[in-house]
Amino acid sequence: MNTNVKHFGYDRKSVKPGILHFGVGNFHRAHQEAYTDALMSIDAGQYGWGIAGAMLLPSDERLYRALKEQNGEYTLTICGRDGYEETRVIGSLTDVVWAQEDPESIINLVADGDIRIISMTITEGGYNIDKESGAFMSGSSQIAHDLVNRQKPKTVFGFIAEGLRRRRENGAGGVTLLSCDNLQHNGDTARKAFMSFFKAQDNELAVWAEENVSFPNSMVDRITPATLATDIERLNRRNGTADKAPVYCEDFIQWVIEDKFVAGRPEWEKAGVEFTDDVTAYENMKLSLLNASHTLLSYPAFLSGYRKVDEAMRDSRIVKFVKDFMDKDVTPYVPAPGSVNLEEYKRTLIERFGNSSVSDQIARLCFDGISKFPVYIVPNLGKMFADGKDLVRMAFLTAVYRDYLKYHRDDNGNVFEVSEPWLTEEDRRNIASDTEEDFLGLSAFKGVVLKESEVFTDLYKTFCGRLRREGTMSTLESIIQ
């Protein structure tokens, strides 16, 4: 192995699992595992907080086999914004279990009293919450199966429910369910989903869980691209390794957790995790600055012909647009939480967006704008309306979003497909309409009546016309002077 690769500095044989994690993907391995590995490297008293990984899906087989062969070890390459890279061997993953091969072991791990935290990265959709009603969808086929087949589960809900039943019976005590997914109030979402399932399957278990299971909210952040076959080859060649499951990520990392653990927790704060009584301010900062800025830059950059975020961020006009948005439109409404320096946070975001080592696809940022605008853009826009703020950037963004959805062609003449899975029939009519004001009734803008502002509407209509006549970047140049 290349001597530049850093090996974990602890006796791995002494590490025992105190955490069971569902969803052993790249983000988990670059985030929670990285924090835990760092903690055990500096404090031998934390060896009881190793992580056992549970993998449920048939598609998990390749990664499962690779990690199993390597006894859970893998390399993590951290790509700095300054071009510097650091590679570490991660040792905190004690074992992996695959439901397609050994489902009983996963259930028994949930029931094991040594496991005091059950964490998860199962994606936003994995919580099975209906976007429109906000209700748990108990009628889906796999959920319906698990409701009546307690001992042969297929979903994370069924596995955890059966394990908790055994945990209750063997007196192993309470446990924390810790969501590490990138969604607002993820602990509240997890609580709603799991408690809904428990009540539908076994009300006695639900009563027990009310007293013995906690669901902390947490805010997670680290850009971690998918690892393609070409990346595996590239990373191994560069690092002098033969890792079948390498991960690479940016150098920025953040994890803020509501300190609500019923059965104890690692001292992650020693490795840089921040614990708080309320993560709301941190979530608001990330949503309003990072996620909103991604939405802001994605549509004009895409229509201008850019396809990767770092390439777009080498265009000084786009950088100025993003900075103006952060400073003028967002900062007045985002109090800095904890010890965060907001100016430094914003500077770091610009650097992160421009990191070519972990470049993101702009098409991914454009995906599902209907769901993103109500969360990232509309809340602050409503406050700007009420306070009589300058609306020029928001009007431009709205016009660009219409252009993107309506015409399916960028400024270079390239035709593209729009991916908006949650458009309603009314949305489609509003997009197709040649009356520009109709677009302002899009479901993406729920929560603020755009047509009520004559100033906003006039700006928006002006931009709609200019985009058609002059193109995206020429129109953008007129508002960044």
235-264 pLDDT, tens digit each: 999 999 999 999 999 999 999 999 999 999
The predicted structure's pLDDT at residue 268: 98
Query: Measured between alpha carbons, how far is 456 from 388 in angstroms, rounded to an integer?
Result: 10
The predicted structure's pLDDT at residue 296: 98
The predicted structure's pLDDT at residue 397: 98
The predicted structure's pLDDT at residue 439: 98
The predicted structure's pLDDT at residue 446: 85
Please give the domain boundaries of the chain with CATH numbers for all domains.
Answer: 12-277 (3.40.50.720), 281-477 (1.10.1040.10)
Task: Give the strand order in the sheet containing 50-55.
Answer: 93-98, 50-55, 17-22, 117-120, 175-179, 213-214
Structure letter (DSSP) for residue 443: G
The predicted structure's pLDDT at residue 140: 87
Contacts for 337-341: CB closer than 8 Å, 24+ residues apart:
337/256, 337/276, 337/281, 337/282, 337/284, 337/285, 338/256, 338/274, 338/276, 338/281, 338/282, 340/282, 340/285
User: Terminal CA-to-CA distance of the chain, rounded, Å?
Assistant: 53
The answer to whether the pTM exceeds 0.75 is yes
Mean pLDDT of 104-132: 94
Mean pLDDT of 272-280: 97
434-471 pLDDT, tens digit each: 999 999 999 999 888 999 999 999 999 999 999 999 99
- On average, the pLDDT of the chain sits at 96
Q: Is residue 58 predicted with pLDDT exceeding 80?
A: yes
Query: Measured between alpha carbons, how far is 434 from 18 in angstroms, rounded to an integer?
Result: 59
154-171 pLDDT, tens digit each: 999 999 999 999 999 999
Report the half-sphere exposure of 204 (CA within 13 A, side-chain side).
5
- Return the bridge partners of 308, or none: 361
Query: Measured between alpha carbons, how far is 476 from 322 in angstroms, rounded to an integer?
Result: 11
Amino acid identity at 203:
N
Q: What share of the chain is helix, strand, coil (3-state, %, to 5)?
A: 55, 15, 35
291-304 pLDDT, tens digit each: 999 999 999 999 99
360-371 pLDDT, tens digit each: 899 999 999 999
412-437 pLDDT, tens digit each: 999 999 999 989 999 999 999 999 99
Q: Is residue 218 predicted with pLDDT exceeding 90?
A: yes
Which burial class, exposed, middle or buried, applies to 386 when counting CB atoms under 10 A from its CB (0-12, 13-18, 19+)?
exposed
The predicted structure's pLDDT at residue 456: 97
Percent of the chain with pLDDT over 90: 93
The predicted structure's pLDDT at residue 1: 44
